[in-house]
Chain A
Amino acid sequence: MLATLVDTFRRNLRSYILLMALLAIWIGFGIATPAFYSADHIQNVLTQMAIIGIMACGMVFVIVTGGIDLSVGFGAGFVSVVAAALLYFNTITKPLAALFPHMTPGTLEVVSAVVIVLLCLLLGALIGVFQGFIIAFLAVPPFITTLGGMFIFKSGILMVTKGKSLFISSNDTYKYIAQGLLPPMFGYVLVALVAVVLFTMVFRSRARKQKYGIELPHIALDLAKAGFFTLIVLGYVLVVNRAFDHEADASIRGVPFLVVILALIGLLMSYISTNTRFGRYAYAIGGNRDAARLSGINIRKYLFGIYVTMGALMGVSGIALAAYVGSGTTGAGGGYELDVIASCILGGTSTLGGEGTIFGAIIGALIMQSLGNGLQMMNVNSNVQYLIKGLVLILAVWADISMKKKKG
């Protein structure tokens, strides 16, 4: 039992080390500033990292194929100011109202928010189509294409905003995307769902492994793992629902909507990475492009698809960004690309390609966000915050490299 435990631990060493690093950061900051454990902060930290985390899910695929996307920061910023402009100038609401004069103001608000979200998703995907086409079919290196994209989208931001901030005051439905909390009841349903899914997965995968005679880890270990993750989700839901705080106002209880979006995207992308051709081919292309080509994989087609996916996720982040800050600003999204890339790398994605997980990237994003928030709460000057983030990134990669060297 102990031997299998040690063995499993060793095989998943990397994810455990990452989780432990996160845990260490949380314990450290918790001791330094108790506010780190407050319901307010716990509710906020995941929302804040979601914009980065969503894009990191796409960036993992990009980096796995040996590429990079520098344009995601300003790209998301561009989408966010477009969304803000559509709301600020009532570009969608006015024609809708003219078209359907009997619509109540409430319905009109919801419908226009939905239309704007769809348009912005499309815009993100089109950005991906544009860059993906250049990278995959014109063979311009990703670094250069997306560096160019960075300038182009920055210009786009300035053209749309004309140097002003565009405030979104008219549409609360839209702001709900990043600021809304789901009813507490939903949180509990979520916990139940997670528990059912995790435990069914344990039994199904064990049954399958048994069928093929693959050695099974001890059932207690699998159950403990599922139980552990369920408990974490339960704990989170209890805290953000403020279940034990009877004083709290109903308006601050609940799981943030954006966190659920991040979780869904994370699960979807993680599923794609292991359970579809798209995911498999991405890893094969990054692992050995010649072998992939000689295996009959249409490399251009899949590279194109990966940048389109990245663009669509950039769109999602842009939509969330506008809703989160409540306005479209001239500096929107600037520098996010660095956080996104750093999250992936911290999460174990190799810049040489062929290696990396969605789960790792999301944990990486959470580590970066926790570091930032914790330092801020400790009143560490923001000049120093970047210094520390930079050192942590380098340290993490160095530790990983030296660990690999020891193993090989």
Chain B
Amino acid sequence: MDQDLILDISGVSKTFPGVNALTDVSIQVRRGEIHGLCGENGAGKSTLMKILCGVYPHGTYTGTIQLDGHELKLGNTSIREAIDEGIAIVYQELTLIPNMTVGENIFLGKEPRNGVAIDWDRLYAETAALLKRFKLDISPHALIKDLGVGQMQMTEIAKALSEHAKVLILDEPTSALSAAEVDKLMQILVTLKAEGVTCLYISHKLEEFFRTTDTVSVLRDGRVVTTLPTPKLTVAKMVNLMVGREMTERFPKGERQPGEVFFQVAGLHALDPKNPSREVLKGVDFDLRKGEILGIAGLMGSGRTELVTTLFGEYGELTAGTILLDGQEIRIRSARQAMDHGISLVPEDRKGQGLVLRQTILENISLPNLDRFASFMRIDHDAELSEARSFARSLSIKAPSLQVPVETLSGGNQQKVVISKWLMSEPRILILDDPTRGIDVGAKFEIYKLMNHLAESGFGIIMISSELEEVLGMSDRVMVMWEGRSNGTLEIAEATQEKIMARATGIELAQES
């Protein structure tokens, strides 16, 4: 084996019921390099990361992984095992404890001790030394909650480095950062490289690869398409490699004639309610016609979900922009107001936001609609049941009765319950945020048919999707988001995966109109 290799992934395959998540993946990472990993949503990047940190332990996949010359065999007892082996991951979601200081967080679980007591002096001295080594301008005594998101990310990296990691994995580290913070991170990566740290860098923002990485591997559909030195790549070439694939007959094509525009959004700006220094929506324009499906494409972190939750009144407040419904400007400050205007949202996180899992199908479907069946002291159970039934039937929800808890249903049927609940509220605009995520192929097809049917009967449908094929297969037009902006709307006839990806990565910009 090449002495220069620190991480040698060879022939790794991993299957889930019905899906090949990874097929024969081989990636060689040289000591001291920054190795980029890119691919579409669902290409297999996170599955690979989960294997590397032991979430999917040794034995649940085939193939071998060599770390620094010996085979990596992780059990799934705890994340500690991977750390002890020398693999440290900085997750997208920050995993720091807000009410503890930087030092306490970095040494959490491995506090230096003085007999039984924690040796605070040593802890803070070592933290200071670590921060200084990587030129991080953060006080060891600062509380995490007082830091900016960027500084938190740096702290997270420092924490990973304090483990004497052989390989540092950065999983989309810039997704929550402002532009200035990204620059800072890039500088730090350069410092780290000079220190001899090996990095595996995952990102959706292609230009970042050209600022940091030495080598890039492109994943597509669970396979490594290519591994090339970064100078030999261009963004356009990467996009091609990421999407080059055949469309299959997975989408029922509806017969519909979209009507006139009835919903317009112009110049929408909004701030992240959790990090008000970050603007999540930086100018979004689109319009929606009656009886059409408008696809919204964009990489993760491009502001797709933030856009639709803002339209539903449940995210940040607008700092600029207008929303017109039937030519009238409307203001939406809560879900209730959105519903009153005929807007419904099937949220991204089905279990976390769409359903009350322990409650029955009936209770879930009628939750937003009880006003229709209820007077002050009485819910008309007969009316409630008969209406819920008609929806359950027309959406063919498969369940023994409407009285079973939704947690017992399959993902596809759960999603149908969420859609039923929102259809019952008689919306004019139905927003679906990644409606087929985690649903098997058969159920997906049914949901597509349902969407076509709804569009044919005059609903305006907005569909966010992480799968380009789905966007192309279902939409009449595609609005592409890039870094919080709408980067143009494409007619389906002119849209291709390459064009969408070019817009989603910002290498092609929509003409100002």
Q: Verify that A and B bind, or say they do not.
A: yes
A277 B379 Cβ-Cβ under 8 A: yes
Stretch of A32-40, A147-155, A207-215, A249-257 contacting B (4+ beta carbons < 8 Å): A207-215
A19 interface contact, C-beta 8 A: no
Closest chain B residue to A272, Cβ basis: B377
List of A residues within 8 angstroms of B386 by Cβ? 212
Closest chain-B Cβ to A343's Cβ sits at a distance in Å of: 22
Whether A280 lies near B370 (C-beta < 8 A) is yes
Q: Which residues on B sit within 8 Å (CB–CB) of A275?
A: 377-379, 381
CB neighbours of A293 from chain B (8 A) = 314, 335
Q: Give the shortest distance, in Å, between A340 (CB) and chain B (any CB).
A: 24
Binds A, one of B130-138, B323-331, B348-356: B348-356
Residues B367 and A292 in contact, CB atoms below 8 Å apart: yes
Q: Give Cα A208–Cα B385 distance, bound, in whole angstroms.
A: 10
Is B261's beta carbon under 8 Å from chain A? no
In the complex, whether B401 has a CB less than 8 A from a CB of chain A is yes
Contacts of B129 in A (CB 8 A): none
Is B194 part of the contact surface with A, judged by Cβ < 8 Å? Answer: no
Q: Mark A275-308, 1 if CB is under 8 A from B, else 0.
A: 1110011011001101111111110000000000
Contact across chains for B401 and A354 when beta carbons are under 8 A apart? no
Contact with A along B330-358 (1 / 0, CB 8 A): 00001110110000010100001111111
Given A212-B385, A275-B379, A276-B374, does the pair A294, B359 have CB atoms closer than 8 Å?
A: no
Contacts of A339 in B (CB 8 A): none
Q: Out of A214, A277, A288, A298, name the residue touching B356 (CB < 8 Å).
A: A288
Among B382-408, those with CB < 8 Å from A are 382, 385-386, 389, 401, 403
- Enumerate chain A residues within 8 angstroms of B367, measured Cβ to Cβ: 280, 284, 291-292, 295, 297
Asked whether A337 is an interface residue with its Cβ less than 8 Å from the other chain, the reply is no
B458 interface residue per 8 A CB criterion: no
Residues of chain A within 8 A (CB-CB) of B334 are 296
With A and B bound together, what is the CA distance between A18 and B339 in angstroms?
Answer: 42
Determine if A355 is an interface residue (Cβ-Cβ < 8 Å).
Answer: yes
B371 at the interface (CB under 8 A from A): yes
Which residues of A sit under 8 angstroms from B345, Cβ to Cβ? 294
Taking A277-B379, A280-B367 as contacts, is the C-beta distance between A294 and B389 under 8 angstroms?
no
Chain A residues whose CB sits within 8 angstroms of the CB of B403 once the complex forms: 214
Q: B459 → chain A, closest Cβ, in Å? A: 19
Looking at B353, B366, B381, B386, the one whose CB has the most chain A CB atoms below 10 A away is B353
Contacts known (A214-B401, A294-B345, A296-B334); A283 close to B356, Cβ less than 8 A: yes
Q: In the docked arrangement, what's the CA distance between A281 and B368, Å?
A: 10
In Å, the complex CA distance between A288 and B378 comes to 23
The answer on a CB contact under 8 Å between B336 and A291 is no
Give bound CA distance, A277 to B345, whole Å. Answer: 21
In the bound complex, how far is the Cα of B379 from the Cα of A292, in angstroms?
Answer: 18
| B209 in contact (CB, < 8 A) | no
The answer to the question of B421 belonging to the interface, with a C-beta cut-off of 8 Å to chain A, is yes
Q: How far is the CB of A204 from chain B (nearest CB, A)?
A: 11
Expressed in whole angstroms, the Cα–Cα distance for A280 and B367 within the complex equals: 8
Residue B312, interface by CB 8 Å: yes
When distances are taken between beta carbons in the complex, the residues of chain B under 8 Å from A295 are: 335, 367-368, 421
**B363 contacts A by Cβ under 8 Å:** yes
Residue of A nearest to B338 (CB): A296
- Cα of A355 to Cα of B359 in the assembled complex, Å: 9
Q: Which residue of B lies closest to A211 (CB)?
A: B382
Interface SS majority for chain A: helix
Cα-based distance from A284 to B357 in the complex (angstroms):
10
Tell me how far the C-beta of B432 lies from the nearest C-beta in chain A, rounded to whole angstroms: 14
Contact status A284-B377, CB under 8 Å: no
Report the Cα distance A91→B345, complex, angstroms: 58
CA A408 to CA B403, docked complex, whole Å: 18
Nearest to B389 among chain A residues (CB) is A212
A288–B314 Cα distance when bound, in Å, is: 16
Known A-B contacts A284-B367, A287-B359, A294-B345; A277 and B374 likewise in contact (beta carbons under 8 Å): yes
Q: Which residue of B lies closest to A350 (CB)?
A: B358
The minimal Cβ–Cβ distance linking B316 to chain A, given in whole angstroms, is 15
Q: What separation, in Å, do the CA atoms of A400 and B345 have in the docked complex?
A: 37
Q: Chain A residues with Cβ under 8 A from B377's Cβ?
A: 275-276
Query: B392 → chain A, closest Cβ, in Å?
Result: 12
Which residues does chain A contribute within 8 Å of B359, judged by CB atoms? 283-284, 287, 354
B371 to chain A, nearest CB (A): 7
* Inter-chain contacts of B352 with A (CB < 8 A): 288, 290-291
Q: How far is the CB of A162 from chain B (nearest CB, A)?
A: 43
Closest residue of chain A to B385 (Cβ to Cβ) is A212
Q: How far is the CB of A379 from chain B (nearest CB, A)?
A: 44
Is the beta-carbon distance between A208 and B382 smaller than 8 angstroms?
Answer: yes
Residue of B nearest to A271 (CB): B377
Is A292 a contact of B378 with CB atoms below 8 Å?
no
Contact status B368-A276, CB under 8 Å: no
> Nearest Cβ distance between residue A283 and chain B, in whole angstroms?
7
Bound: A215/B401 CA distance, A: 9
How many whole Å from A342's CB to the nearest CB in chain B? 23
Give Cα distance in the complex from A284 to B381, angstroms.
17
Q: How far is the CA of A104 from the CA of B363 in the complex (A)?
A: 55
Tell me the minimal C-beta distance from B384 to chain A in angstroms: 10
A355, B378: Cβ atoms closer than 8 Å: no
Counting chain B CB atoms within 10 Å of each CB, the highest count among A212, A294, A355 belongs to A294
The answer to whether A284 touches B335, judged by C-beta atoms less than 8 angstroms apart, is: no
Q: Contact at B378–A290, with CB atoms within 8 Å?
A: no
Chain B, Cβ-Cβ closest to A287: B356
* A355: B residues at CB distance < 8 A: 358
CB distance from A349 to the nearest CB of B (A): 13
Q: What's the Cα separation between A293 and B382 when bound, in Å?
A: 26
Chain B 283-319, CB-CB to A under 8 Å as 1, else 0, gives 0000000000000000000000000000010100000
Minimum distance in angstroms from A227 CB to a CB of chain B: 25
Least distance between B347 CB and chain A CB atoms (Å): 6
Chain A residue at smallest Cβ distance from B401 = A214
B contact residues around A297 at 8 Å (CB): 336, 367-368
**B355 and A291 contact, CB distance less than 8 A:** yes
Contact for B353 among A212, A290, A296, CB less than 8 A: A290
Q: Which residue of B lies closest to A214 (CB)?
A: B401
The residue in B352, B354, B359 that gathers the most chain A C-beta atoms within 10 A of its C-beta is B359
| Contact yes or no, A296 B356, CB < 8 A | no
| Bound CA–CA A284/B360 (angstroms) | 11
Which chain A positions have C-beta within 8 A of B354? 291, 294
Give bound CA distance, A288 to B354, whole Å.
9
Q: How far is the CA of A281 from the CA of B339 in the complex (A)?
A: 17
Given A212-B386, A292-B367, do A276 and B378 touch, yes or no (CB 8 Å)? Answer: yes
Is there an interface contact between A291 and B335, defined as CB atoms closer than 8 Å? no
The answer to whether A296 and B339 have CB atoms under 8 Å apart is yes
Closest 3 CB pairs of A and B: A287-B356, A295-B368, A296-B336
Taking A208-B382, A283-B356, A288-B356 as known contacts, 13 extra A-B pairs with beta carbons closer than 8 A to each other, sorted by chain A number, are A211-B382, A212-B386, A275-B381, A277-B370, A280-B363, A280-B366, A288-B352, A288-B355, A291-B353, A293-B335, A294-B314, A295-B368, A354-B356
Instruction: Return 13 A-B CB contacts under 8 Å, by A number.
Output: A212-B382, A212-B386, A212-B389, A214-B403, A276-B374, A277-B379, A280-B366, A280-B367, A281-B370, A288-B357, A291-B353, A291-B354, A293-B314
Interface residues of B (CB under 8 A from A): 312, 314, 334-336, 338-339, 345, 347, 352-359, 363, 366-368, 370-371, 374, 376-379, 381-382, 385-386, 389, 401, 403, 421
